[in-house]
Amino acid sequence: MQMIDSQIHFYHSDSPERPWLDVWRGKPFPLGPNHFFPEDIIPQMDAAGVSRAVVVPPSWTGYDNSQCLEFAANDPKRFAVMGRFDLFNPDRGRLETWMEQPNMIGLRFSGRYIGGMDLGEFLDYEQFGWFWTECERLDIPVMMFASEDRIALVPKLAERFPGVTFIMDHFGTTIGDLNVIDPWGYQDQMLELAKFPNVYAKLSALPLNTLEEYPFPSQTPYIKRAYDAFGPERLAWGTDVSRFKRTTYQQAVDHILTQIDFLTEYDKEWIMGKTIAKAVRWPLDEDS
């Protein structure tokens, strides 16, 4: 079984050379360490048997994908990038050569940015229909963190653009204070997306959706509903490990491999690697 983590953020500290977005500048950062690099996770991946990871440049560093692409260039068998794209940049022609960038395998958007800045405009077909038309023509997979009410905007896009592969981050769960929010409050809307064969969903950041210690028993019923709707061939495991505070990387792997008793070995092979490899066109190693 070849295991692929469908979401890891790599990012630098806020600095004049590589500034973060203004919403975070000079403020305490609540989402994890102030920087996260390949050397922070490679030993843990190796120990857990995870051979690859999809690198997702985070919202707070803006639209500069260069550092993540550099990391992938240094270890292309291990890392590939779903880059961030500025829809308000007037140079629309960048999409034409987007996938020609070495180790770039798609696009990723955040539907609601923590800190109050709303980046959900990309789901507005009337404003950005040109973008989705080009993604379909150019066969560019798109990951999106569209949580809460933004999920309701996805069905129209998925139906209008059946040639676009949509990959839904974190199964639409909500990031926030678990003492006051229900992270799974919009799961019903996510489950409705299963009727579109071009929509995939990530079972990512699962340890962040509960205050429980490992093995997170409260997450099992939500995983079962996701499994029943999408099936293993459209569900992809991932960690979002840079935000972990109470969980180890090994536990995030073992959660799916050993604690979800209804999954078969076939299911695990797809959820832990084959699904994301198929969705982002990153072929598995021949001997896996």
Please report where in the chains the tokens 């009337």 appear, as a residue. 126
Q: Where are the domains of the chain?
A: 3-279
**C-alpha–C-alpha distance, residues 125 and 135, integer Å:** 13
Give how far Cα 258 sits from Cα of 201, 211, 216, 225, 231, Å: 21, 20, 12, 18, 18
From the options 3.40.50.2000, 3.30.565.10, 3.20.20.140, 1.20.1250.20, give the CATH code of 3-279: 3.20.20.140
The torsion angles phi and psi of 269, rounded to 5 degrees, stand at: -60, -40
* Element of type H or E holding 143: strand 142-145
Tokens 């190796």: give the residue.
46
Whole-angstrom Cα distance, residue 275 to residue 195? 17
Residue 136: count other Cβ atoms within 10 Å of its Cβ.
Answer: 17
Question: Strands 235-238 and 199-204: what pairing?
Answer: parallel
Max CA separation in the chain (angstroms): 50
Residue 124 gets the label, from left (phi > 0), alpha (psi -120 to 50) or beta, of: beta
Contact 252, 19 (CB under 8 A): no
Tokens found for residue 77: 């068998």
H helix runs in the chain, sequence order: 38-48, 66-74, 125-138, 154-160, 187-192, 220-230, 249-258, 265-269, 275-279
Question: Tens-digit pLDDT profile for the chain (288 aa)?
Answer: 999 999 999 999 988 888 888 777 777 777 888 899 999 999 999 999 999 999 999 888 888 899 999 999 999 999 999 999 988 888 999 999 999 999 999 999 875 544 444 555 677 778 889 999 999 999 999 999 988 888 988 999 999 999 999 999 999 998 888 999 999 999 999 999 999 999 999 999 999 999 999 999 999 999 999 999 999 999 999 999 999 998 999 999 999 999 999 999 999 999 999 999 999 999 998 755
pLDDT of residue 116: 43
Q: Please give the DSSP secondary-structure letter assigned to residue 80.
A: E
pLDDT for residue 114: 43
Q: Is 65 helix (H, G, I), strand (E, B) or coil?
A: coil
| CA dist., res. 171 & res. 76, Å (int) | 27
User: Which DSSP string do the residues of 85-129 spell out, in sequence order?
Assistant: --TTSS-GGGGGGGGGSTTEEEEEEESS-TTS---GGGG-HHHHH
* CA separation for the pair 191, 186 (Å, rounded): 9
pLDDT at 270 (0 to 100) = 98
Task: Return the pLDDT at 115.
Answer: 43
Q: 3-state class of 83 per DSSP?
A: strand
DSSP 208: G
CA distances from 279 to 46, 64, 141, 172 (A): 23, 24, 7, 17
141: nearest Cα among 202, 226, 76? 202
Tokens of 272: 């832990």
